[in-house]
Amino acid sequence: MKTMMKILLIFIFISAEAIANEVNIFSARHYDSDVQLYEKFTAKTGIKVNVVSGKSGALEKRIIEEGSESKADLYITADAGRLGAFEAKGMLQSGLISNTIKSAVPKNFRTSKWVGIAKRARIVYFAPERVSGAELAGLTYESLADPKWKGRLVIRASNNIYNQSLVASLVKNNGKAAAAQWSKGVVSNMARDPKGNDRAQILAVAAGEADIAVANTYYLALMLSGKKGAEQQAAAKKVKPFFPNQDGRGTHMNISGAGLVKGAPNKENAIKLVEFLLSEEAQNHIVNNTFEYPMIAGVSPHPLVVNMGLDFKQDLKTKVVNYGKRQAEALEVMTGAGWK
């Protein structure tokens, strides 16, 4: 009997060790390069990384439904608005506040419950043969509602989280009433009803369907890289990037980020993984595979991103936590304006 009890205790100890030596990620990022990073982390630490991949909505639904039975440690996704909304549902916990994380990530790109691991800018693209330098001078997000752009603008649908966060930043900086009026102006200026992803907006400008588009920077770099085929590569060469609000608060910035899930069974390992993702090695790997901007100082973006311009003024005034807090208001003003 004593022997059996001893064996049982040893088994429990080994099982606890096995659990403690892993970390479970629920990831809405769809990059094979992320998996390569996790493999590097395991090689360095011996901590096994288990990944559940899927769309953000499905992953969030699963974590919520599983409740205290969930094995999720980290929720990794694009956009601070998503992380903020998930936090508002009570599904994230504090803990991402180690000295390593705080020293690596500017405070406007993190909270105690989630932290940015890469940055992205949402900018304007234009057709150089149809848009003059005078028209672009001093261009802001606010001026996209100017009647001079009537019938010349393409942008994604109102249900797109990137647009919701952009409008949330306008609500934060200019007020809800101003953002509502702006949304009406943007809808009036659309060359067509919103459709497709960010690359579709760039393609529309290249094809002459519109003169300007709003899209994230990494999409143009992805197209220029040739990874989406020669046709999209050729189209990308027909448009030019422009960074808005350079005379004011700066260009709208967002993140890819990691949130610490409430009840995470491997909290310490999750923190270690986030710290690794913010290391110079990992940051170089991220930016050279996803074309995002690095979160930490001292790392250069991919050359295709560098060529778009590095000296632009980033909006470091608007904390990205506001994208989640103002999300409902943003969606309200967009749909109220008839933004499909």
Which two three-digit tokens encode residue 224? 């220029």
Task: Give the pLDDT confidence of 74-124 residue by residue, as tens digits.
Answer: 999 999 999 999 999 999 999 999 999 999 999 999 999 999 999 999 999
Residue 18: per-residue pLDDT? 46
**CA proximity to 127, closest of 2, 212, 40:** 212
Q: What is the mean pLDDT of the chain?
A: 93
Residue 9: per-residue pLDDT? 37
Q: Backbone phi, then psi, for 53, in 5-degree steps?
A: -105, 150
Q: Is the predicted pLDDT of residue 191 greater than 60, yes or no?
A: yes
Residue 310: per-residue pLDDT? 85
Residue 7: per-residue pLDDT? 38
**Residue percentage of the chain with pLDDT more than 70:** 94
Residues 113 and 260: their CA atoms lie apart, in Å, by 6
Reported as a pLDDT band with limits 50, 70 and 90, residue 20 is low
Q: Is the predicted pLDDT of residue 5 greater than 50, yes or no?
A: no
Averaged over 228-245, what is the pLDDT? 97
Q: What are the distances in angstroms from CA 191 to CA 127, 205, 338?
A: 14, 10, 14
C-alpha torsion sign, points 323, 327, 331, 337: negative
Averaged over 220-237, what is the pLDDT? 96
Reported as a pLDDT band with limits 50, 70 and 90, residue 30 is confident
Q: Which residues pair with 153 in a beta bridge?
A: 190, 212
Is the CB of residue 282 less than 8 Å from the CB of residue 290?
no
Sketch out the chain's domains with CATH numbers: 2-119+255-299 (3.40.190.10), 121-252+320-336 (3.40.190.10)
- Pairing type for strands 114-126 and 48-53 reads unpaired
